[in-house]
Structure 1
Amino acid sequence: MEIEPITLSTPRPVRRPMLVQGWHELTFLHWPVEPERVAGLLPAGTRPDTLDGVTYVGLVPFMMRGAGLGPGPGLPYLGTFCETNVRLYSVDEQGRRGVVFRSLDAARLLPALVGRLGVRLPYTWSAMRLRRENDVLTYTTRRGRSAGPGPTSRVVVRPGAPIARPTQLELFLTARWGLHVLWHSRTVHLPNEHTPWPLHRAELLGLEDELITAAGLPHMTDAPVSVLYSPGVSVRFGKPSTLEPSLVPSR
């Protein structure tokens, strides 16, 4: 099946949102990986989405603001917290592109519980911080809230000039419009809607990360091939839809 090229347009508007969120102060770090190395980590009925035969591993720290159920408005306190996700890129047989989260660390307990128990996403309540000093952002994460050691991550970036015309790779990595997740033993696609990302170049000043390997992914020894920053967007999530049973192979 031929998949349509990545575009800036939103495939379908979300008319009755189930969730609202604000994704702000994001940094996108990405590394190329062979599709066969990560295919077994995706839910049934999906496969690695590729660009020129390559798929990608993403490390994305950011500030969540105003997350909430229904059409909103979101919660100003409980819905605002730091988050870091490790992600892969997927496509199903209906041509719907998405993100598959291998891990999500959140600095607030209630949203982590709702995400884990309600949507079946691999959330962990973790110690996190985002610090801005002049034009430099530092994201720090320590998995879990206990005193014992857990996987950690530290990302230091300097946002740069806005990108007027994103490359095909930059669109591939950011214009996803949904996620795939295994929900009650069935793979579902959860669509989202937001304005096109306002993307900026960014300079990576420091990186120490253990979250990627903790998520069962290969150790990334090289520098990321893409470093992007965005001030953020407001997001609306629509109703999940299951993959057609005939398209979901048994495993």
Structure 2
Amino acid sequence: MAGTTPRRVGRLLLSQYWRDGPLLHWPVRARAVAGPMPPGVVPDVCDGTSRVGPVALGMERPGPGSGGGLPFFGTFPEVNVRLFSVDGQGRRGVVFRSLDCPRLAAVPAARAALGLLRRWSDTRWTAEYGAPHLAGRVRGPAGGRAGRPLRGDVGPRLERPGLPADLLTARWGLHTRTRGRTVYLRVEHPRRPLHRAHAHELRQNLVRAAGVEVAGPPASVLFCPGVPVRSGPCTPAD
């Protein structure tokens, strides 16, 4: 899998910047995550397993086209739990099982436009001095909360990430179900700068609340300081 965008987005719909993002992943059996996949999409598998994991990031000035951020949105943290997907056209992407953010206006917008499971939460995310820290209240589907689900530190940069880092970070789209059809939202960004990272404190209830059971520490912990992201129009995936 290449670490650079295989297809350009063409017509630009949305631009933003993802910053200070830790990526944690566990291997899971494909059949354990096949149920949540939208029609026409199956789990993406490498070395006999698929992957699941939470990703926290600072969503910086999202807005339409290249004209900058929307009023009142600014920069806000987002925590998502993602599955890895591939469709019948061979396009690899992710399927979100949850997206938590503290911007109330962003919740109905994501649900209406893309059918995403974005929820409001009192989430606070910092990554100062090489120490990622996710705090606040992340609300589960039944009202459960995680008070401090992640604390870690950042190590040296990976000059040649290779597999499985490319599998985990070179995801060039989003598969989702909206308005009765499965669609693929293409994304484009430069190769992510990646660092090794370590999670000192981690509560797995974020993944469990998303409907996937994992055990033990994550098999992979990476950190990306930031990358500009462009999104194009949705295309059919089923």
Task: Give me the TM-score of the superposition, normalised by structure 2.
Answer: 0.94
- Given candidates 231, 235, 238, the residue that maps to 1:237 is 231
- Per the alignment, residue 60 of structure 2 pairs with 65
Unaligned runs of 5+ in 1: 1-5
AA in 2 matched with 1:239? P
> Is the 8 Å Cα contact of residues 38 and 177 (structure 2) preserved in structure 1?
yes
- Note the C-alpha offset of 1:8: 1.3
The aligned runs of 1:117-136 (5 Å cut-off) are: 117-132=112-127, 134-136=129-131
1:49-75 Cα deviation digits (max 9, x unpaired): 010111000110111101112332123
CA distance in 1, matches of 2:186, 2:130: 33
1:138-193 Cα deviation digits (max 9, x unpaired): 11252359xx9523251111111111001211000100110100011100000000
- Per the alignment, residue 163 of structure 2 pairs with 168
CA distance in 1, matches of 2:15, 2:223: 21
CA distance in 1, matches of 2:184, 2:113: 15
- Give the secondary structure class of the aligned counterpart of 2:203: strand
> Is the 8 Å Cα contact of residues 65 and 76 (structure 1) preserved in structure 2?
no
- Note the C-alpha offset of 1:119: 1.4
Query: Could you list the runs of 4 or more consecutive aligned residues of structure 1 that deviate by over 4 angstroms after TM superposition?
Result: none
- Residue 146 of structure 2 is aligned to residue 154 of structure 1: no
Counting matched residue pairs gives 236
CA shift in 2, pair 1:76/1:139, >3 Å: farther
> Is the 8 Å Cα contact of residues 79 and 111 (structure 1) preserved in structure 2?
no
> Is the 8 Å Cα contact of residues 33 and 212 (structure 2) preserved in structure 1?
yes
CA distance in 2, matches of 1:150, 1:82: 19
Task: Give me the TM-score of the superposition, normalised by structure 1.
Answer: 0.89
- Per the alignment, residue 184 of structure 1 pairs with 179
- Give the secondary structure class of the aligned counterpart of 2:35: helix
CA shift in 2, pair 1:91/1:141, >3 Å: farther
CA shift in 2, pair 1:74/1:58, >3 Å: same
- Residue 22 of structure 2 is aligned to residue 21 of structure 1: no
- Note the C-alpha offset of 1:14: 2.1
- Give the secondary structure class of the aligned counterpart of 1:40: coil
CA shift in 2, pair 1:20/1:232, >3 Å: same
AA in 2 matched with 1:240? C
AA in 2 matched with 1:184? R
CA distance in 1, matches of 2:198, 2:71: 31
AA in 1 matched with 2:162? T
CA shift in 2, pair 1:149/1:122, >3 Å: closer
Unaligned runs of 5+ in 2: none
AA in 2 matched with 1:165? R
CA distance in 1, matches of 2:105, 2:218: 32
Deviates more, 1:122-131 or 1:71-80: 71-80
CA distance in 1, matches of 2:135, 2:204: 10
> Is the 8 Å Cα contact of residues 61 and 85 (structure 1) preserved in structure 2?
yes
CA distance in 2, matches of 1:48, 1:149: 28
- Given candidates 214, 218, 222, the residue that maps to 2:216 is 222
- Note the C-alpha offset of 1:215: 1.1
CA distance in 1, matches of 2:127, 2:192: 21
- Per the alignment, residue 3 of structure 1 pairs with none
- Note the C-alpha offset of 1:225: 0.4
- Note the C-alpha offset of 1:77: 4.8
CA distance in 1, matches of 2:181, 2:70: 30
AA in 1 matched with 2:30? P
AA in 2 matched with 1:71? S
